[in-house]
Amino acid sequence: MDPSLARRYRLPNGILIATVAAVLVVLGTIQIASDALYAGSAQPGAAPRHVPTALGVRIYKLLDRVAPAGYVESTLAEYELKQGRLAAAERYAIRLPASPVRNDILARIELARGHHQLAFEYFFAAPDIAAVQREIAEIAVRDPQRAYRYEARFKDRLVSLTTHPDAVADAYWRMGELATQQAYRLPAGKRRPFLERGLRDYRTALRLAPLNMNYVLSSANQALALGAYRTASRLFEHGIAIDPASADSLAGLGIVALREGRRATALAYAARARAVNPQASELLGLERMLR
């Protein structure tokens, strides 16, 4: 090979090697920093547990000054939040681009500050389904009707995202539960509108997830509470179609029969349910009614 040509190739190769080496050093440094920051989640005796956390923090803060990136900001925000330094955590979090990660971190910062309403809004935007449902459940203890409004709003948010079909069904079911809770806080003469609303929500959940036995039984029992025996019967039969060994559905049909004055049929359903599961909650209710 021509010596001049060899020299021409030698220089770019040297640059390439130096670049690769520099990249490897940077990646190795980031890995060390990550190991340090997440050492707490490593197995006892694992190498990351021997890397000082302070070293990882310093490396990440240096990266944040030199080449800020989303994973650096979010990692530092999480670290500061874990240390209880909420203002520092917020400074890193607000520099993140709008995203579920940003909203979730900001929500947990506000929750740590005791700002539940603002935390809820951030969880809502994320959306962090489990966190939102925890907040709504706390509201429901004091005010089921207000919790229902929050749940309905969250359901609409989930519908708009189109990526959480199971969560949408669950939100409708929870709306049914909240409407029912509100009903039983009222005098008997004022319960029906809330029970009917609850039945509509339960049945919407069941339409979205027709094989969910929890939705089947909630819908059927709500229909029973409203005296809609034909609807209750169809729903319990749907439960048996899903699971022929459903003691609750069999006993539910027995309750319908007893309410309609067909005691012999109710006894037969009770016997069938007892053979499947003598502790089924619907069966225990039927047996009390048969005494």
What structural domains and CATH numbers belong to the chain? 226-291 (1.25.40)
Q: How far from chain centre, in Å, is Cα 152?
A: 15
> What distance in Å separates the CA atoms of residue 182 and residue 170, rounded to the nearest whole number?
18
Q: Which residue is associated with the tokens 């037969």?
A: 268
Residue 34's pLDDT band (cuts 50, 70, 90): low
Residue 168: pLDDT over 70: yes
Predicted local confidence at residue 227, as pLDDT: 96
Angle at 284 between CA 279 and CA 288, to 5 degrees: 155
Residue 27's pLDDT band (cuts 50, 70, 90): very low
List, for residues 183-205, the tens digit of each pLDDT value.
999 999 999 999 999 999 999 99
pLDDT higher for 236 or 16? 236
Contact 220, 212 (CB under 8 A): no
Please give the mean pLDDT across all residues of the chain: 85
State the average pLDDT over residues 68-91: 87
Q: Give me the count of residues in the chain.
A: 291
List, for residues 109-153, the tens digit of each pLDDT value.
999 999 989 999 999 999 999 999 999 999 999 999 999 999 999
Predicted local confidence at residue 76, as pLDDT: 87
